[in-house]
Amino acid sequence: MSTEHENRPWLTVLLRVWTQFSPEACCAALEAAGAGGQNLVVLCHESERERAMVAGRELVRRGVLRAFRCNSPQAGGHLLEEANRAAHQARTPYLLLLSSEVLLAPGSLPPLLSRLAEEPDLAGVNPLFLYGQKAFSSSGEDCPSACGQPGQRARIAHMGCVADYLGQLHYLYEGLPLGHALAGKRRRFQVGHAGALLLRREDFLAAGGFNAALDSLAHMDLCLKLTAPAPDKPLRAFSSEPASLAVLTDDLDAWKTCGLWNSLLQRERLSPDLLRPDHAALVRADGVEYGCSHWLCGQAWPSTGTMDESALDEEGSGLADWLRWRHDPQPRTLLSLLESMPPRQRAFAVQLCRELPSSLPSTLPWYLFAAEKLLDCGKRDDLPLLTASAASWLAHAEDFQRHDLQPGLQALSDEGLYSSGLDNCPASFDAWIELAEKERSVNTRQEVEDFDRLDVGGTWPTIAVVMPVYNPRPEHLRAALDSVLAQEYPHWQLCVADDASTINEIPEILRGYAAQEGRMRLTVREQNGHIARASNTALELSDAPWTGFLDHDDLLPAHALREVAALVRQNPDLVLVYSDEDKVDARGVRRTPILKADFDPWVCAVWHFSVYATERLRQVGGLRAGFEGSQDFDLSLRVAENLRPECVAHIPQILYHWRVHAQSASGSLGAKPYVLEATRRALDESACRRGLRATAVPTIRNNFFVLRHELDACSRCSVVLLAADATPVPTALWNDLERLSQLVCLEVLCQPVNAAAAEAFKKSPPPSALNVRLLPPLEGKKKENWHAACNQAAQSASGQVLFFLDARILPLPGSLPEQLMALALEKGIGTVGGTLWRGGRLWHAGLMPDVTGLPFASQRGAESELLSSIAWGQLLLTRRVLAVSEQAMAVQRAVFLEQGGYDLAMGPWAGADLGLRLASAGLHSMSCPWGQWHVPPGSGSALEHVDHVGDVLERQRITPQTREIFLARWGGTVRGSGLRNAMLRAAPDQGWALMMKENF
């Protein structure tokens, strides 16, 4: 190459440093790889900067590099943005995207350059990546192949990415020996590996570089952009160069990369059309037959000797178990892999299983879909082994479920793979469906039958199912109608109003069903009136005492009406009944369960399946036109506003499957943008009808709204600042209180928990505009007792509202503590707590009940960007909780004193005890998202209260005696609390976990 002889660099290496993979070894390997005289830009976070600078400067000092620079993003920035910036600043024709997890072998760069220069249709070139085998070593050290030139028995970790017929990503011939004949073949691939990828700089810039917003998928996006078809240009591809080698020290790279892609694909977050199915074609070109495993994973091996068991076992059982799982992913091989791993790597692998749902088995519908797809593709592409395997699987699908799928899921459950919150382990829902849901249904069916035999003289109510119809997909409409006809409960009416569908097939389908089913009532509207009017038209057809709503493309499980009928028959005062729900995709795969608590009027999370007393529906005028997109929410607000608690009931079962597709609200909020405005209006008008001086404002981070209350300027509030040590009160906290004093009549009581803590208020004096009093510190037996300090300060306060605040917490931008005060003054409210953060993660957003009878700090440790999605988005809403944090809590002074304040005998359980005593008196504890504070680490005695049982026990702040006292007083109440869905329990990660079979 001419550029090699010119006196200027031809290459800029963009080295991205991962915290767990140090840059020193990667930088040292660059010299022998052929990077002499080239430029190096290290991209790393500030924590790795010093090590990177030392390694880079050493190469410059020794004359290895022409130039070196280290780029670190500013706070909130992304390393990929720094990569784009460095690429723009580079003046070399080529870029090498390099990761610190990759060690280039000696002489590996020149072959890459020659290949890319000689073949203009290549978008980029990778070396062959070999396993480092660190994950499979008990010592955690790299194998000998990590240094120098690897031997022929080394195993290939990556030679190229391929896509199967389901759109899933795989590494071709993963584990192939380096000495195998097929290892030396050059192939074309759709995407390259970002670990060490040589590109032309002009191509990188023309493609727009990395899209940092895509994070872990940014390199896949870049590859797809580089190979996108362009007019008058040859189709580009990526390739691996057999003459160039590198060691991939992250042995689990294939799991992370393919697992992320395949998990998003499985959950329909990615389109299966993004990658062209090329796995079968590539292996056929190598003379290898393509088939699938018993678990429907594409299989293709060059020869029987490639996966020789004895040869693998000689190299290490860890690598053998890894490759067995990679080529035959199923519970048995996964458990063998986990068992062979050292403890630290095993814990990380279990975390990957939970985070990446494709690592774990799905439900039977997914396998049915996959088998049918593989069968069609096998026939189309003349793949006899694949065709035979898929056909055989379909013929024995029930046997697979009974003898493979369910026992495999149970084995994984027994090993604790699903012992995690649902938000952190989505695949636990798949396991629950296969292992637990049917048993729950059998149990409830038996309960209904027993009740029916006892209540001989009773009558079963008729339930009308109202269905407005407008241009659904015909197959979806038939499925929705069939789900009603398949109900186990016989006493129903199906009331359908076609809203002047423009697809001629739709009214024909409806008339056909109505002609065959006498319980179906149909009307066809002459003019389209949208969903609210169409629903009301269907409602007019009903003469049943109960009415439920079903969208024209959604599904009811066969036992849905049976469960509703059994409940309303036993409870004559009911007016509104609602159940849990989930989503179902085009493959028939269910996901995203919404498991609700008992009715909370502040959230009003009824949604689907909702069944109303028909008389009440007609009293409120049915659904309101003008609220399309949120008509169900508006209806539930208008019906529930004046109901007594005993008139609303929740069935803790999934009785509704909400179909996900591009046009549905469940598939995309953007498909129905008017939903937001309708939701805001519905909540605004509801607040007005309830007599609340509040307006609905968006939570910004999801499609929910929350009420913002007006506060009477004459309200009197006593802020109690509690100091547990001499740490000065933050200036930001004083400033926030000064702002609050301009809104209400405010006094600030400074309450030291001990004598030394009084210095906190002296070191940081309050603003002169504040009305501040310093209270005496606690003495005697009450010294150091946080709750005793609260009780003492309450006696000295004069405000209507007590506002207890830890004197060391920092208000976050946008925090409005006055909202907690306003809410505390509302009828039926006891304590109101804010949202506390610690180290950038959630610390406290309210205590919730567990099946053990003990409270726990729900979702503690969650990252802030996840709050819009975890726990069904409700952490961003004002909602009921069991108890709130004493570090930021508002309560009416009269209520607090009437209850006697905190019961010091309950020790660290005093906060939970207060919340439960208030609830017994009809006063609910509330978590309010308007108050946001940061809790500094090591808050000492301020954390004596119970935030999380596990943490407290670990710090020995709870004795077995106080635990038993709490359980004796409140255990039954906590266990039976409607704040917990009966199908859920607290998980070790403090999320909500599904109750598996063994938990019943």
Quick check: 426 pLDDT over 60? yes
Question: Which of 223, 254, 286 is the last residue before a domain boundary?
Answer: 286
The rounded mean pLDDT for the chain is 88
Contact 579, 569 (CB under 8 A): no
Q: What distance in Å separates the CA atoms of residue 987 and residue 984, rounded to the nearest whole number?
A: 9
Is the pLDDT assigned to residue 950 strictly greater than 80?
no
Amino acid at 499: D
Same domain, 548 and 676: yes
- On whether both 280 and 337 belong to a single domain, the answer is no
The DSSP secondary structure of 248-309, one letter per residue, reads ES-TTHHHHHHHHHHHHHHTTSS-TTSS---HHHHHHHTT---EE-TT--EE--S-TTTT-H
Residue 170 lies in a domain: yes
pLDDT, residue 955, reads 34
Each residue's pLDDT tens digit, 711-734: 888 889 999 999 888 888 999 999
Specify whether 272 is located in the same domain as 315. Answer: no
CATH code at 64?
3.90.550.10
**Residue 254 placed within a domain:** yes
Alpha carbon 868 to its chain centroid, in Å, reads 9
CA distance 669 to 708: 23
pLDDT digits (tens, 9 = 90+) for 224-264: 999 998 887 788 999 999 999 999 999 899 999 999 999 99
Among 201-210, 499-508, 696-705, which stretch is predicted with the lowest mean pLDDT?
A: 696-705
Q: Looking at the structure, do residues 662 and 734 belong to the same domain, yes or no?
A: no
Tell me: the pLDDT tens digits for 57-80?
A: 888 888 888 889 988 888 778 889
What's residue 268's pLDDT? 87
Q: Is the pLDDT of residue 753 over 80?
A: yes
Encode 212-242: b = buried (16+ Cβ within 10 Å), e = exposed. beeeebbbbbbbebbbeeeeeeeebbbbbbb
Domain boundary, last residue among 658, 689, 720: 689
- Amino acid code (one letter) for 646: E
Whether residues 953 and 833 share a domain: the answer is yes
**How many structural domains is the chain composed of?**
4
**Residue 59, in any domain of the structure:** yes
Q: Is the peptide bond before 633 cis (omega within 30 degrees of 0)?
A: no
Choose between 505 and 642: higher pLDDT: 505
For residues 567 and 714, membership in a common domain is answered with no
Task: Tell whether 696 is covered by a domain.
Answer: no
Q: Are 240 and 159 in contact (CB under 8 A)?
A: yes
Instruction: Give per-residue pLDDT as tens, 383-424.
Output: 999 999 999 999 999 999 999 999 999 999 999 999 999 999
pLDDT digits (tens, 9 = 90+) for 298-351: 888 776 444 555 555 555 568 889 999 999 999 999 999 999 988 888 999 999
Q: Judge if 404 and 502 occupy the same domain.
A: no
* pLDDT tens digit sequence for 860-900: 988 887 877 788 888 888 999 999 998 999 999 999 999 99
Q: Is 930 strand, coil or helix?
A: strand
User: Which pLDDT band holds residue 943 (cuts at 50, 70, 90)?
Assistant: very low
Q: Residue 841 pairs with which residues in a beta bridge?
A: 838, 863
Look at residue 694 and tell me if it is in a domain: no
Indicate whether 294 belongs to any domain: no
Return the closest-CA partner of residue 40 out of 50, 19, 26.
26
User: Is 236 or 148 the better-scoring residue by pLDDT?
Assistant: 236
With a CB cutoff of 8 Å and minimum separation 6, the contacts of 201 are: 12, 87, 90, 92, 93, 94, 95
Same domain, 435 and 465: no
Percent of the chain topping pLDDT 90: 67
The answer to whether position 974 is within a domain reads yes
The CA-based angle 52-55-61, given to 5 degrees, is 135
In a domain, 1000, yes or no: no
Domain range for 314? 309-447
Residues 676 and 723 in one domain: no
Question: pLDDT band at residue 2, thresholds of 50, 70 and 90?
Answer: very low
How many CA atoms lie within 13 Å of 530's alpha carbon, on the beta-carbon side?
11
Q: Please, are residues 393 and 371 in contact by the beta-carbon 8 Å criterion?
A: yes
Residues 213 and 349 placed together within one structural domain of the fold: no
Domain end position, chosen among 447, 472, 502:
447
* pLDDT for res 483: 97
- The answer to whether residue 958 scores a pLDDT higher than 80 is no
Residue 583: both structure tokens together: 């989503």
Same domain, 264 and 340: no
* pLDDT band per the 50, 70, 90 thresholds, residue 754: confident
Separation between Cα atoms, residue 484 and residue 231, nearest integer Å: 52
Q: Which helix (H) or strand (E) holds 830?
A: strand 829-838
Residues 278, 130, single domain; the answer is yes
